[in-house]
Amino acid sequence: MSTTNNEREVILSVRHVDVAFDVGGKKKFKAVSDANFDIYRGETFALVGESGSGKTTLGRAVIRINPCTAGEILFNGERISGKISKQQDRNVIRNIQMIFQDPAASLNERATIEYCISEGLYNFHLYKDNEDRIAKVDKALEDVGLLPEHKSRYPHEFSGGQRQRVGIARAMIMEPQFIIADEPISALDVSIRAQVLNLMNKLKKEKNLTYLFIAHDLSVVRFIADRIAVIHLGKIVEIAESEDLFKYPVHPYTISLLSAVPMPDPIIEKNRDSIVYNKEEDDPNAAPREMREIRPGHFVYANDEDMVAFEKRLEKLESYHAE
């Protein structure tokens, strides 16, 4: 994909990536097909889709849990997908970290918080001596708003929000450049979500991080993301700057997703119906589609025929916003 902002440095490049799984016999299920996008250093890139859309699969392909069946992933210009050397593998682990969805499931319940946070330090021996390690753990806890005295406790003694912050501290202690956050707030209570989002933003600024933020809720993503990619049944259908996606949504699936999220506003909600997107209505004989740039930095999955309709819609939206 051509970069619109040439002065920006690409940190992660996903090039025509397919991820397929065996489903008994010779059959393969393509969870992600032809994912193709760049993530720039310092931005928050959101990948939004419903369950089964392949968003988590793609995130895990980046961190080498799921192998790519086609295409390649570059990190700082170096290929990190497929067979790579042990040194490179360790390099990926040090620089790309993950925050998980369910803070109750992603911490080892039989280990103290100190061990949970130190795990990465142990594996890469990132400390001079034991004193240094403990100092680092204390600092990491402090960074996420927890107290050093917490480190001798076990995960189940914490609330959901606190646990999620432990998960964040565990990733941050590796001093990564890139963080994959897989639905980091959807398992949390509403009142805790804001705190975790704030924390993620604060750490991003302080440590100059880049986020791949995986989510299912577009309205939450708008607050945190710089750019948003909408993924549907393994295909990325639209990529745009976050404000643009809300102002000029062109792909029918994006529109259906936007309209489906209930807004905390009774006047609006009582009077609107969600717009249903039905992929089956697509003509199977339609010309092949690809990602096309419809506005600067705004890409949509379309063929010539679609483009006519999308451009018409875009024109309308632009005139609407010009008012």
Q: Which of residues 109-128 bind another protein (CB under 8 A)?
A: 109-111, 115, 119-120, 122-124
Is 279 a binding residue for another protein by CB under 8 A? The answer is no
In angstroms, the CA 190 to CA 207 distance is: 26
Instruction: Pick between residue 89 and residue 293 the one whose CB is nearest to another protein.
Output: 89
Instruction: Pick between residue 1 and residue 263 the one whose CB is nearest to another protein.
Output: 263
Is 307 a binding residue for another protein by CB under 8 A? The answer is no
Quickly tell me which residue has 């009077």 as its tokens: 271
In the chain, what's the furthest Cα-to-Cα distance?
Answer: 66
Instruction: Pick between residue 286 and residue 309 the one whose CB is nearest to another protein.
Output: 309
Of 11-19, 20-28, 67-75, 258-266, which segment contacts another protein by CB under 8 A?
A: 258-266
Tell the smallest beta-carbon distance from residue 153 to another protein (Å). Answer: 7
Phi, psi angle pair for 190, to nearest 5°: -55, -40
* Range 140-179, binding another protein (CB under 8 A): 145-147, 150, 152-154, 156-162, 167, 170, 174
Phi, psi angle pair for 120, to nearest 5°: -65, -40
**283 in helix, strand or coil?**
coil
Each residue 207-246 as x (binds another protein by CB under 8 A) or -, in order, gives ---------xx-xx-xxx-----------------x---x
Taking Cα atoms as reference points, which of 74, 32, 60 lies closest to residue 231? 32
Q: How far is CA 268 from CA 172, 223, 257, 273, 317, in A?
A: 40, 20, 16, 10, 20
Is 261 a binding residue for another protein by CB under 8 A? The answer is yes
In angstroms, the CA 124 to CA 38 distance is: 29
* Range 57-116, binding another protein (CB under 8 A): 63, 65, 90, 93-94, 97-98, 100-102, 105-111, 115
Residue 76 CA from chain centroid, whole number: 18
Instruction: Pick between residue 12 and residue 146 the one whose CB is nearest to another protein.
Output: 146
